[in-house]
Structure 1
């Protein structure tokens, strides 16, 4: 039995019913959701499964949209995305497609649903999986997407970083580092799941009527480029039942915006759902071509992400960080150990060496944390800036310069006084200076020494 649980309607506005349900997705995973419908409905209605975007925010993320569609007479299913087999480091769009089809079968079994008007509504990442689902089941009679991406997730992410950084006024090496170096490194390290997924083949095989929508102020999904790519894919597959629509004045998820699409407001326009309802009820289901709404501007295309060269290997990066840790942190730890044992160094190189150890350790560890922070926040949290650079990045660049200077000073001092140094000091300084020399190309690669 597909439906495992059906609870009485509750927690819904007076004009709607909300039925809690559970159903079995891919691999036997039980998924929980809510079906929203008009309380006064007396005839079979159109219905759709709503697929959320990236992350796992739960069914409440799409609750306002689902209620709006339900008030238009569309039965909607929203559900909590799986946590088994879906995480920050692992996901499979094919699995998500099967989950959506399981929800579709649940809707099809309802007495108030018209099977001839049953479809999928997919937002952002959900629009990677929705065409796969449409290709697998004749139960999908239509497909509506919001903020669908026509490029790979990796290219889309890099493009989105650039949009947010330019909007914040960031210049210098940080945009290139995040858009190119950081994205390519996360892909190469295997911590960017589905980064190279190509959505075009799935779109080429979609035969159902398609309503593909983007907000005019979408700063995440390359709306102009994605619209063109998806249109061409549908036409190559012989599908002329599509409508490409750009919605004025709204952002990525068709919510209103007070900051040109760069904010995260949750506010729907008063007419939300009007167009979709009319489109579903239209006999032809689509008008081939693009809506009359203005096509969004797109200053830059999606970046090309070349594979990592041998010297960019994540393993080599890890080895470099370990050497930095041994060289920069090892020097003060060894000195502290000597002091505990009552041995005090009189090395003439110790002052510059201490500065090198401090600046090198702060720069490498600080850079690692800052890159992870920017990736985790999708470059949305910039903070105060000085001369076109976020203060943390500017501080890291200044520390990188200081590390190079102290490396040179320590190496010169070591050369001048090497005959006066004990063997243990020679070894410690050798590791420290080696770390400092290796730091130079590493810092240049990550943009720390680039203006």
Structure 2
């Protein structure tokens, strides 16, 4: 063996050293992902709300008509919101109901909604003698990125004022029914307009949307039995402030409006609703309205009911019965015992703000990080190849040899670099597919141990393979060095893309 061969052999890492380097790199990237934070450890809820009895029926001696007492009619009307914007609304009337009647305005939850929704609710309640109205949700100012709850309150208030203008309505008895996200808006109306006769909050988040989303996501993932490390995706995904004011409504706080509510409040939750803080929400409403001297509250928990107060896709009959009687019996039913009734609710953790990520994983940086990883892995190797092609055209083979890089070693480095790039891209694709799969299971309240546990193992193995492929590419690079050491620009750019993509991924998600 000549001196040159001995020198090359000395420069070539042994297999044991390569394995050790791979392990160190895997642990290093994992540590990088871990320290980039934040961690996730939700606070257990210690204070509970005790139900007084299982029967949810509304007490008091008030005489109210049961459901089905009146035939109902429906009329579609136009509600003017501004000089340029109007919406349609369905008005349900009890036929033959005597005297001036109470009125109820329905406010939709998240998403698109029309005057045709809430039909079973509005018709059933109207059959007890209450005039109900279901307006379209205004959608020209409502998007996933931007929502103005105060402006939406003004829009829905127009439907309340329409009811007050009807000759058959007692204008002092018009109130608002808000479901889910609509509970924010109904609370704004009740807190801003003192003539609001009552406030009905159904499956109300109460806490700011970001806290509710954090709580719901944690519950969904735990119910899906995902591995504990995956829970760190919660603060990383929901904690950052998005750039450009996108999702600024996520931090909307309804409490200042609740603290001004003078009207009696009815709250309803299903004990099977894992998306809402069903104990904390009721507790907060009770505490907030008390600041205004208001102690008129009624809370009902319906056994096994979901977010829509449904069991097996059917509205719980007792729910519509209770809402109708409570509304029709006001003011006698405002403080009727029992104040809290139904199935005992259970809430394991507090709905609270997620930890704020560090600067390099927040706002613009998280968007840059998520996009930079795959972009660097794909784009820089292509740029490197293009640069290499230009270099070969300019310098020719003689210039390439002058750089001290043999053709055989160059092609070896090309193969290992390409393999590393494909492995990195594959790891990203598998991770995204896994997140989508878990999200689908979570939102549909399903579990699949093979998909969750097996998928997690596959994604972690893919990440380790990507790191190993990067190490082998670096090893091939080391083997191409000769004195004087000169590195082709295109290979440097290629490896920079691989390393940058891996580091970027570690900052956004754990290995």
Number of residue-to-residue matches in the alignment = 425
1:68 aligns with 2:119: no
> 1:389 aligns to what SS in structure 2?
helix
TM-score, L = length of structure 2: 0.74
Pair 1:81–1:26, CA change in 2 (3 A): same
Shift of 1:447: 3.6
Pick from 346, 355, 360: which aligns with 1:297? Answer: 346
Which shows bigger deviation, 156-165 or 39-48?
39-48
Name the residue aligned to 1:3. Answer: none
1:287-326 counterparts in 2 under 5 A?
Answer: 287=335, 290-320=339-369, 321-322=371-372, 324-326=374-376
> 1:33 aligns to what SS in structure 2?
strand
1:121-160 counterparts in 2 under 5 A?
Answer: 121-160=177-216
Which shows bigger deviation, 79-88 or 356-365?
356-365
Checking the alignment, whether the CA contact within 8 Å between 1:68 and 1:272 is kept in structure 2 is no
Name the residue aligned to 2:414. Answer: 350
1:416 aligns with 2:479: yes
Checking the alignment, whether the CA contact within 8 Å between 2:373 and 2:502 is kept in structure 1 is no
Deviations 1:28-87 (A, max 9, x none): 531211111223434332111100111113233322211221222221111221111101
1:242 aligns with 2:290: no
CA distance in 1, matches of 2:484, 2:147: 55
CA distance in 2, matches of 1:240, 1:294: 22
CA distance in 1, matches of 2:359, 2:346: 37
> 2:295 aligns to what SS in structure 1?
coil
Pick from 336, 355, 378: which aligns with 1:328? Answer: 378
Deviations 1:243-289 (A, max 9, x none): 122222312221224xxxxxxx3x21233421112212333341278
Larger radius of gyration, structure 1 or 2?
A: 2
Checking the alignment, whether the CA contact within 8 Å between 1:231 and 1:244 is kept in structure 2 is no
Checking the alignment, whether the CA contact within 8 Å between 1:150 and 1:199 is kept in structure 2 is yes
Checking the alignment, whether the CA contact within 8 Å between 1:396 and 1:448 is kept in structure 2 is no
CA distance in 1, matches of 2:76, 2:121: 17
Shift of 1:118: 0.9
**Structure 1 residue ranges without an equivalent (≥5):** 1-13, 258-264
> 2:250 aligns to what SS in structure 1?
coil
Pair 1:368–1:186, CA change in 2 (3 A): farther
CA distance in 2, matches of 1:46, 1:319: 54
1:168 aligns with 2:234: no
CA distance in 2, matches of 1:290, 1:418: 80
> 2:227 aligns to what SS in structure 1?
coil
Shift of 1:164: 1.6
Shift of 1:142: 0.6
1:87-106 counterparts in 2 under 5 A?
Answer: 87-106=143-162
CA distance in 1, matches of 2:430, 2:78: 45
Checking the alignment, whether the CA contact within 8 Å between 1:170 and 1:390 is kept in structure 2 is no
> 1:60 aligns to what SS in structure 2?
coil
Shift of 1:232: 1.0
More relative contact order, 1 or 2 (CA 8 Å, 6+ apart) = 2
Name the residue aligned to 2:140. Answer: 84
Pick from 236, 247, 252: which aligns with 1:192? Answer: 247
Name the residue aligned to 1:277. Answer: 324
Shift of 1:171: 2.2
CA distance in 2, matches of 1:193, 1:251: 28
Checking the alignment, whether the CA contact within 8 Å between 1:325 and 1:361 is kept in structure 2 is no
